[in-house]
Chain A
Amino acid sequence: MTTEAVATAADLDIVACHCCGQVCQHAAGDICCVRCGTHLHRRKRDSLSRTWALLLAAMILYVPANLLPIMRTGSLFSSQDNTILSGVVELWRNGSWDLAVIVFVASILVPLLKFAALLVLLISVQMGKDWRTLGRARLFRLIENIGYWSMLDVFVVTLLVALVHFQKLSRVDPGPGVVYFAVVVVLTMLASMAFDPRLIWDTAAVARKHADD
Protein backbone atom coordinates (compact mmCIF):
# COMPACT_ATOMS: atom_id res chain seq x y z
CA MET A 1 0.00 0.00 0.00
CA THR A 2 0.94 3.63 -0.41
CA THR A 3 0.12 4.47 3.18
CA GLU A 4 3.80 4.68 4.13
CA ALA A 5 4.49 7.45 1.63
CA VAL A 6 1.77 9.84 2.83
CA ALA A 7 3.00 13.15 4.23
CA THR A 8 1.04 14.41 7.19
CA ALA A 9 0.38 18.02 8.07
CA ALA A 10 2.19 17.48 11.37
CA ASP A 11 5.37 16.43 9.47
CA LEU A 12 5.24 19.54 7.31
CA ASP A 13 4.54 21.99 10.17
CA ILE A 14 1.25 23.03 8.68
CA VAL A 15 -2.30 22.78 10.02
CA ALA A 16 -5.74 23.04 8.44
CA CYS A 17 -8.35 25.35 9.94
CA HIS A 18 -11.23 23.20 11.19
CA CYS A 19 -13.68 25.99 10.46
CA CYS A 20 -12.77 27.04 6.90
CA GLY A 21 -10.15 24.51 5.73
CA GLN A 22 -7.44 27.13 5.15
CA VAL A 23 -3.94 25.62 5.42
CA CYS A 24 -1.73 27.63 7.79
CA GLN A 25 1.92 27.49 8.86
CA HIS A 26 2.21 26.09 12.36
CA ALA A 27 5.69 25.84 13.87
CA ALA A 28 4.79 26.12 17.55
CA GLY A 29 2.49 27.79 20.04
CA ASP A 30 -0.94 29.31 19.71
CA ILE A 31 -1.94 30.58 16.30
CA CYS A 32 -5.11 31.73 14.60
CA CYS A 33 -6.36 31.01 11.10
CA VAL A 34 -5.19 33.71 8.65
CA ARG A 35 -8.56 33.62 6.88
CA CYS A 36 -11.24 33.32 9.56
CA GLY A 37 -9.42 33.86 12.87
CA THR A 38 -10.35 30.53 14.47
CA HIS A 39 -7.89 29.24 17.09
CA LEU A 40 -6.00 26.37 15.50
CA HIS A 41 -4.97 23.10 17.12
CA ARG A 42 -3.17 20.21 15.50
CA ARG A 43 -5.47 17.75 17.25
CA LYS A 44 -8.75 18.17 19.09
CA ARG A 45 -8.01 19.23 22.66
CA ASP A 46 -8.13 16.52 25.36
CA SER A 47 -9.82 14.31 22.83
CA LEU A 48 -9.45 11.01 24.69
CA SER A 49 -10.47 12.16 28.16
CA ARG A 50 -13.44 14.15 26.85
CA THR A 51 -14.63 11.26 24.71
CA TRP A 52 -14.29 8.87 27.68
CA ALA A 53 -16.28 11.18 29.97
CA LEU A 54 -19.12 11.68 27.49
CA LEU A 55 -19.20 8.01 26.54
CA LEU A 56 -19.33 6.79 30.16
CA ALA A 57 -22.08 9.29 31.01
CA ALA A 58 -24.07 8.08 27.99
CA MET A 59 -23.61 4.42 28.94
CA ILE A 60 -24.78 5.03 32.50
CA LEU A 61 -27.88 6.96 31.40
CA TYR A 62 -28.61 4.29 28.80
CA VAL A 63 -29.75 1.97 31.63
CA PRO A 64 -32.66 4.15 32.90
CA ALA A 65 -33.42 5.13 29.28
CA ASN A 66 -34.25 1.50 28.55
CA LEU A 67 -35.75 0.44 31.89
CA LEU A 68 -38.04 3.42 32.50
CA PRO A 69 -41.14 3.90 30.35
CA ILE A 70 -40.72 6.31 27.46
CA MET A 71 -44.47 6.87 27.32
CA ARG A 72 -47.71 6.01 29.13
CA THR A 73 -50.76 5.17 27.08
CA GLY A 74 -53.99 5.47 29.01
CA SER A 75 -57.67 5.00 28.37
CA LEU A 76 -60.73 5.33 30.62
CA PHE A 77 -60.04 2.15 32.56
CA SER A 78 -56.44 1.20 32.10
CA SER A 79 -53.01 2.64 31.57
CA GLN A 80 -49.94 0.98 30.17
CA ASP A 81 -46.23 1.78 30.31
CA ASN A 82 -44.18 1.49 27.13
CA THR A 83 -40.42 1.09 27.05
CA ILE A 84 -38.29 1.36 23.93
CA LEU A 85 -38.16 -2.41 23.58
CA SER A 86 -41.91 -2.91 24.15
CA GLY A 87 -42.57 -0.31 21.45
CA VAL A 88 -40.61 -2.41 18.97
CA VAL A 89 -42.43 -5.59 20.04
CA GLU A 90 -45.80 -3.87 19.68
CA LEU A 91 -45.02 -2.73 16.13
CA TRP A 92 -43.93 -6.27 15.27
CA ARG A 93 -47.11 -7.81 16.69
CA ASN A 94 -49.31 -5.37 14.80
CA GLY A 95 -47.79 -6.60 11.57
CA SER A 96 -45.53 -3.64 10.77
CA TRP A 97 -42.38 -5.74 10.85
CA ASP A 98 -40.58 -3.33 8.51
CA LEU A 99 -41.07 -0.37 10.86
CA ALA A 100 -40.27 -2.60 13.83
CA VAL A 101 -36.90 -3.36 12.24
CA ILE A 102 -36.26 0.34 11.52
CA VAL A 103 -37.10 1.38 15.10
CA PHE A 104 -35.04 -1.51 16.49
CA VAL A 105 -32.02 -0.46 14.44
CA ALA A 106 -32.36 3.26 15.23
CA SER A 107 -33.19 2.98 18.94
CA ILE A 108 -31.35 -0.11 20.11
CA LEU A 109 -28.74 -1.25 17.60
CA VAL A 110 -27.28 2.16 16.70
CA PRO A 111 -26.65 3.30 20.32
CA LEU A 112 -25.09 -0.07 21.20
CA LEU A 113 -22.96 0.01 18.06
CA LYS A 114 -21.82 3.52 18.98
CA PHE A 115 -20.84 2.43 22.50
CA ALA A 116 -18.93 -0.59 21.19
CA ALA A 117 -17.24 1.35 18.38
CA LEU A 118 -16.13 4.23 20.61
CA LEU A 119 -14.80 1.76 23.20
CA VAL A 120 -12.81 -0.07 20.52
CA LEU A 121 -11.47 3.21 19.11
CA LEU A 122 -10.52 4.65 22.52
CA ILE A 123 -8.86 1.49 23.80
CA SER A 124 -6.98 0.71 20.57
CA VAL A 125 -5.65 4.27 20.41
CA GLN A 126 -4.60 4.24 24.06
CA MET A 127 -2.83 0.91 23.65
CA GLY A 128 -0.98 2.36 20.65
CA LYS A 129 -1.97 -0.36 18.24
CA ASP A 130 -1.05 -0.43 14.55
CA TRP A 131 -4.09 -2.51 13.72
CA ARG A 132 -6.64 -2.17 10.93
CA THR A 133 -6.24 1.58 10.66
CA LEU A 134 -8.46 1.91 7.59
CA GLY A 135 -11.18 -0.26 9.13
CA ARG A 136 -11.17 1.80 12.34
CA ALA A 137 -11.27 5.06 10.33
CA ARG A 138 -14.30 3.74 8.44
CA LEU A 139 -15.97 2.57 11.66
CA PHE A 140 -15.63 6.09 13.06
CA ARG A 141 -17.16 7.68 9.98
CA LEU A 142 -20.03 5.19 10.12
CA ILE A 143 -21.01 6.00 13.70
CA GLU A 144 -20.58 9.71 13.04
CA ASN A 145 -23.00 9.55 10.12
CA ILE A 146 -25.75 7.34 11.52
CA GLY A 147 -25.76 8.37 15.19
CA TYR A 148 -28.44 11.06 14.98
CA TRP A 149 -31.08 8.62 13.67
CA SER A 150 -31.46 7.40 17.26
CA MET A 151 -33.56 10.50 17.97
CA LEU A 152 -36.35 8.70 16.09
CA ASP A 153 -38.15 7.40 19.17
CA VAL A 154 -38.02 10.80 20.87
CA PHE A 155 -39.84 12.37 17.91
CA VAL A 156 -42.37 9.51 17.82
CA VAL A 157 -43.24 10.07 21.49
CA THR A 158 -43.46 13.85 20.98
CA LEU A 159 -45.97 13.47 18.15
CA LEU A 160 -48.05 10.83 19.91
CA VAL A 161 -48.29 12.96 23.07
CA ALA A 162 -49.66 15.84 20.99
CA LEU A 163 -52.05 13.72 18.92
CA VAL A 164 -53.50 11.22 21.37
CA HIS A 165 -55.12 13.65 23.74
CA PHE A 166 -58.83 12.90 23.99
CA GLN A 167 -59.46 14.03 27.57
CA LYS A 168 -59.95 10.97 29.75
CA LEU A 169 -60.97 8.73 26.87
CA SER A 170 -57.52 8.10 25.52
CA ARG A 171 -54.22 9.84 26.02
CA VAL A 172 -50.46 9.42 25.76
CA ASP A 173 -48.06 11.01 28.23
CA PRO A 174 -44.26 11.12 28.00
CA GLY A 175 -42.42 8.90 30.51
CA PRO A 176 -39.11 9.68 32.23
CA GLY A 177 -37.32 7.21 29.93
CA VAL A 178 -37.68 9.47 26.91
CA VAL A 179 -35.80 12.29 28.67
CA TYR A 180 -32.92 9.93 29.52
CA PHE A 181 -32.94 8.55 26.01
CA ALA A 182 -32.77 11.99 24.37
CA VAL A 183 -29.84 12.90 26.64
CA VAL A 184 -28.09 9.61 25.74
CA VAL A 185 -28.35 10.39 22.03
CA VAL A 186 -27.01 13.92 22.53
CA LEU A 187 -24.13 12.61 24.69
CA THR A 188 -23.12 9.93 22.17
CA MET A 189 -23.15 12.53 19.41
CA LEU A 190 -20.96 14.83 21.51
CA ALA A 191 -18.68 11.87 22.32
CA SER A 192 -18.07 11.01 18.67
CA MET A 193 -17.49 14.70 17.91
CA ALA A 194 -14.91 14.87 20.72
CA PHE A 195 -12.98 11.88 19.37
CA ASP A 196 -10.16 12.84 17.02
CA PRO A 197 -9.82 10.18 14.26
CA ARG A 198 -6.31 11.43 13.45
CA LEU A 199 -5.15 9.75 16.66
CA ILE A 200 -5.81 6.37 14.98
CA TRP A 201 -3.14 7.19 12.40
CA ASP A 202 -0.79 8.95 14.82
CA THR A 203 -0.55 5.99 17.18
CA ALA A 204 -0.28 3.52 14.30
CA ALA A 205 2.66 5.49 12.87
CA VAL A 206 4.40 5.50 16.26
CA ALA A 207 3.81 1.76 16.69
CA ARG A 208 5.21 1.08 13.23
CA LYS A 209 8.30 3.15 13.95
CA HIS A 210 8.90 1.15 17.15
CA ALA A 211 8.48 -2.09 15.25
CA ASP A 212 11.05 -0.97 12.68
CA ASP A 213 13.67 -0.02 15.30
Chain B
Amino acid sequence: MDTSVANLVICEHCDAVHRRHELARGEVARCVRCQALLYRCPWLDVNSMFALALAAAVMFFIANTWPIVSLGLNGIHRSATLWGAIFAVASDGAGLVAVLVALMLFFFPLLQVILFGWILGFLRLHRRPPGFVPIMRILTAIGPWSMVEVFLLGTLVAVVKAGSIFDIILQPGIWAFAALTVLLTLVASFDLRRMWVLQRERCA
Protein backbone atom coordinates (compact mmCIF):
# COMPACT_ATOMS: atom_id res chain seq x y z
CA MET B 1 0.00 0.00 0.00
CA ASP B 2 2.75 2.37 0.94
CA THR B 3 4.55 2.03 -2.39
CA SER B 4 1.52 3.22 -4.34
CA VAL B 5 0.93 6.11 -1.93
CA ALA B 6 4.57 7.23 -2.18
CA ASN B 7 4.03 7.90 -5.88
CA LEU B 8 1.22 10.39 -5.30
CA VAL B 9 1.38 14.15 -4.94
CA ILE B 10 -1.49 16.09 -3.41
CA CYS B 11 -2.02 19.72 -4.41
CA GLU B 12 -1.70 21.90 -1.30
CA HIS B 13 -4.06 24.47 -2.76
CA CYS B 14 -7.04 22.35 -3.86
CA ASP B 15 -6.50 18.77 -2.60
CA ALA B 16 -6.39 17.24 -6.11
CA VAL B 17 -4.38 13.99 -6.29
CA HIS B 18 -1.70 13.54 -8.95
CA ARG B 19 0.74 10.81 -9.89
CA ARG B 20 4.35 11.93 -9.62
CA HIS B 21 6.32 12.14 -12.87
CA GLU B 22 10.04 12.48 -13.35
CA LEU B 23 10.85 15.99 -14.53
CA ALA B 24 13.72 17.25 -16.64
CA ARG B 25 15.96 20.02 -15.32
CA GLY B 26 14.13 23.32 -14.83
CA GLU B 27 10.69 21.80 -15.46
CA VAL B 28 7.79 22.43 -13.11
CA ALA B 29 4.68 20.36 -12.46
CA ARG B 30 1.41 22.23 -11.99
CA CYS B 31 -1.91 21.12 -10.60
CA VAL B 32 -4.41 20.15 -13.33
CA ARG B 33 -7.26 21.70 -11.38
CA CYS B 34 -5.99 24.97 -9.84
CA GLN B 35 -2.65 25.37 -11.67
CA ALA B 36 -0.70 25.81 -8.44
CA LEU B 37 2.92 24.70 -8.43
CA LEU B 38 3.18 21.06 -7.33
CA TYR B 39 6.91 20.38 -7.50
CA ARG B 40 9.85 21.25 -9.68
CA CYS B 41 13.21 19.96 -10.73
CA PRO B 42 15.87 22.60 -10.04
CA TRP B 43 18.51 23.75 -12.53
CA LEU B 44 21.28 23.27 -10.01
CA ASP B 45 22.51 20.16 -8.23
CA VAL B 46 23.31 19.88 -4.53
CA ASN B 47 26.96 20.88 -4.93
CA SER B 48 26.17 24.12 -6.77
CA MET B 49 23.43 24.92 -4.28
CA PHE B 50 25.90 24.45 -1.45
CA ALA B 51 28.33 26.82 -3.20
CA LEU B 52 25.54 29.41 -3.50
CA ALA B 53 24.71 29.05 0.20
CA LEU B 54 28.39 29.63 1.10
CA ALA B 55 28.52 32.70 -1.16
CA ALA B 56 25.32 33.96 0.48
CA ALA B 57 26.93 33.53 3.92
CA VAL B 58 29.92 35.68 2.85
CA MET B 59 27.62 38.35 1.40
CA PHE B 60 25.50 38.29 4.54
CA PHE B 61 28.62 39.00 6.62
CA ILE B 62 29.70 41.91 4.38
CA ALA B 63 26.19 43.34 4.15
CA ASN B 64 25.94 43.51 7.92
CA THR B 65 29.42 44.81 8.74
CA TRP B 66 29.89 47.49 6.09
CA PRO B 67 27.71 50.63 6.05
CA ILE B 68 24.89 50.66 3.49
CA VAL B 69 24.78 54.37 2.55
CA SER B 70 26.20 57.65 3.83
CA LEU B 71 24.55 61.05 3.91
CA GLY B 72 26.43 64.31 3.85
CA LEU B 73 25.21 67.71 5.05
CA ASN B 74 27.55 70.72 5.08
CA GLY B 75 30.57 68.47 5.28
CA ILE B 76 29.25 66.30 8.11
CA HIS B 77 28.83 62.67 7.09
CA ARG B 78 26.67 60.00 8.59
CA SER B 79 26.52 56.39 7.51
CA ALA B 80 24.20 53.61 8.55
CA THR B 81 24.51 49.86 8.91
CA LEU B 82 21.46 47.63 9.23
CA TRP B 83 22.00 47.24 12.98
CA GLY B 84 22.63 50.96 13.33
CA ALA B 85 19.21 51.54 11.77
CA ILE B 86 17.56 48.96 14.04
CA PHE B 87 19.02 50.58 17.18
CA ALA B 88 18.13 54.07 15.96
CA VAL B 89 14.47 53.09 15.50
CA ALA B 90 14.39 51.26 18.85
CA SER B 91 15.81 54.22 20.76
CA ASP B 92 13.35 56.53 19.02
CA GLY B 93 10.37 54.77 20.55
CA ALA B 94 9.37 52.33 17.81
CA GLY B 95 10.65 49.17 19.51
CA LEU B 96 8.11 46.87 17.83
CA VAL B 97 9.25 48.04 14.39
CA ALA B 98 12.87 47.47 15.42
CA VAL B 99 12.07 43.90 16.48
CA LEU B 100 10.22 43.15 13.22
CA VAL B 101 13.00 44.66 11.10
CA ALA B 102 15.67 42.71 13.02
CA LEU B 103 13.75 39.46 12.47
CA MET B 104 12.87 39.99 8.81
CA LEU B 105 16.18 41.43 7.63
CA PHE B 106 18.72 39.84 9.97
CA PHE B 107 17.67 36.76 11.93
CA PHE B 108 15.45 35.01 9.36
CA PRO B 109 17.85 35.51 6.42
CA LEU B 110 20.74 34.43 8.69
CA LEU B 111 18.86 31.28 9.72
CA GLN B 112 18.05 30.54 6.07
CA VAL B 113 21.70 30.83 5.04
CA ILE B 114 23.02 28.74 7.93
CA LEU B 115 20.34 26.03 7.82
CA PHE B 116 20.33 25.64 4.02
CA GLY B 117 24.13 25.47 4.15
CA TRP B 118 24.03 22.89 6.94
CA ILE B 119 21.57 20.60 5.13
CA LEU B 120 23.18 20.91 1.70
CA GLY B 121 26.65 20.43 3.20
CA PHE B 122 25.66 17.06 4.66
CA LEU B 123 23.59 15.97 1.65
CA ARG B 124 26.50 16.52 -0.74
CA LEU B 125 28.54 14.12 1.39
CA HIS B 126 25.65 11.59 1.30
CA ARG B 127 25.15 11.87 5.04
CA ARG B 128 21.95 12.47 6.90
CA PRO B 129 21.98 16.06 8.26
CA PRO B 130 21.68 16.07 12.07
CA GLY B 131 18.44 17.72 13.15
CA PHE B 132 16.97 17.38 9.66
CA VAL B 133 13.28 17.33 10.63
CA PRO B 134 13.26 20.35 12.98
CA ILE B 135 15.47 22.31 10.57
CA MET B 136 13.07 21.67 7.70
CA ARG B 137 10.21 22.84 9.93
CA ILE B 138 12.04 26.07 10.74
CA LEU B 139 12.90 26.70 7.08
CA THR B 140 9.28 26.18 6.02
CA ALA B 141 8.04 28.54 8.74
CA ILE B 142 10.46 31.44 8.21
CA GLY B 143 10.48 31.43 4.39
CA PRO B 144 7.66 33.98 3.91
CA TRP B 145 9.10 36.31 6.59
CA SER B 146 12.56 36.78 5.14
CA MET B 147 12.47 40.08 3.22
CA VAL B 148 15.92 41.09 2.01
CA GLU B 149 14.60 41.95 -1.48
CA VAL B 150 12.03 44.37 -0.06
CA PHE B 151 14.78 46.07 1.95
CA LEU B 152 16.84 46.56 -1.21
CA LEU B 153 13.96 48.41 -2.87
CA GLY B 154 13.39 50.31 0.39
CA THR B 155 17.00 51.48 0.36
CA LEU B 156 16.52 52.82 -3.15
CA VAL B 157 13.40 54.75 -2.09
CA ALA B 158 15.14 56.12 1.02
CA VAL B 159 18.17 57.23 -1.03
CA VAL B 160 15.99 59.03 -3.56
CA LYS B 161 13.96 60.71 -0.79
CA ALA B 162 17.06 61.88 1.07
CA GLY B 163 18.89 62.72 -2.15
CA SER B 164 16.87 65.88 -2.71
CA ILE B 165 18.42 67.44 0.43
CA PHE B 166 21.64 65.57 1.20
CA ASP B 167 24.72 64.28 -0.59
CA ILE B 168 24.47 60.51 -0.99
CA ILE B 169 27.40 58.12 -1.01
CA LEU B 170 26.61 54.46 -1.64
CA GLN B 171 28.72 52.18 0.56
CA PRO B 172 29.83 48.54 0.00
CA GLY B 173 26.99 47.27 2.19
CA ILE B 174 24.39 48.14 -0.44
CA TRP B 175 26.15 46.06 -3.12
CA ALA B 176 26.54 43.20 -0.67
CA PHE B 177 22.80 43.42 0.04
CA ALA B 178 22.09 43.34 -3.71
CA ALA B 179 24.26 40.24 -4.13
CA LEU B 180 22.72 38.66 -1.03
CA THR B 181 19.24 39.27 -2.47
CA VAL B 182 20.10 37.40 -5.67
CA LEU B 183 21.85 34.53 -3.86
CA LEU B 184 19.22 34.15 -1.17
CA THR B 185 16.42 34.16 -3.77
CA LEU B 186 18.20 31.36 -5.64
CA VAL B 187 18.89 29.34 -2.48
CA ALA B 188 15.40 29.82 -1.04
CA SER B 189 13.78 28.92 -4.37
CA PHE B 190 15.12 25.41 -3.85
CA ASP B 191 12.00 23.29 -3.43
CA LEU B 192 11.95 22.31 0.25
CA ARG B 193 9.90 19.20 -0.57
CA ARG B 194 12.74 18.06 -2.78
CA MET B 195 15.07 18.06 0.22
CA TRP B 196 13.05 15.19 1.68
CA VAL B 197 13.37 13.20 -1.56
CA LEU B 198 17.11 13.94 -1.78
CA GLN B 199 17.56 13.06 1.86
CA ARG B 200 15.95 9.65 1.28
CA GLU B 201 17.80 8.94 -1.98
CA ARG B 202 21.23 10.04 -0.80
CA CYS B 203 21.25 8.68 2.71
CA ALA B 204 19.53 5.30 2.18
The closest CB in chain A to the CB of B155 belongs to A159
Quick check: is B125 within 8 A (CB to CB) of the other chain?
A: no
Interface residues of A in 131-189 (CB under 8 A from B): 133-134, 137-138, 140-141, 148-149, 151-166, 169-170, 173-174, 178-179, 182-183, 186, 189
Q: How many residues of B contact A (CB 8 A)?
A: 66
Q: Which residues of B contact A200 (CB under 8 A)?
A: 14
Contacting residues, chain A, for B35 (C-beta < 8 A): 134, 137-138
CB contact list, A56-97 vs B, under 8 A: 87, 90-91, 94, 96
Interface positions, chain B 74-113, Cβ under 8 Å from A, are: 74, 76, 78-80, 84-86, 88-89, 92-94, 96-98, 100-101, 104-105
Residue of A nearest to B88 (CB): A162
In the complex, per-residue mask of B142-156: 1 if CB is within 8 Å of any chain A CB, else 0: 001101001101111
Q: A18-38: contact bitstring with B at CB < 8 Å (1 yes, 0 no)?
A: 111111110000000001111
Kindly state whether residue A198 has any CB partner on chain B within 8 Å.
Answer: yes
Q: Which A residue sits closest to B101, measured CB to CB? A: A158
B144 near A158 (CB under 8 angstroms)?
A: no
A-B CB contacts (within 8 Å), total count: 199
Please give the residue numbers on chain B whose beta carbons come within 8 Å of chain A beta carbons, in ascending order. 1, 5-6, 8-10, 12-17, 32-36, 39, 68-71, 73-74, 76, 78-80, 84-86, 88-89, 92-94, 96-98, 100-101, 104-105, 133, 136-137, 140, 144-145, 147, 150-151, 153-158, 160-162, 164-166, 193, 196
Q: Chain A interface (Cβ within 8 Å of chain B)?
A: 2-3, 6-10, 12, 14-16, 18-25, 35-38, 87, 90-91, 94, 96, 99, 102-103, 106, 133-134, 137-138, 140-141, 148-149, 151-166, 169-170, 173-174, 178-179, 182-183, 186, 189, 193, 197-198, 200-202
Besides A165-B88, A169-B74, A179-B94, 17 more A-B contacts (Cβ < 8 Å) are A9-B15, A19-B136, A25-B1, A94-B164, A148-B144, A151-B104, A152-B150, A154-B154, A155-B154, A161-B92, A163-B162, A166-B76, A166-B78, A170-B73, A173-B93, A179-B97, A182-B96
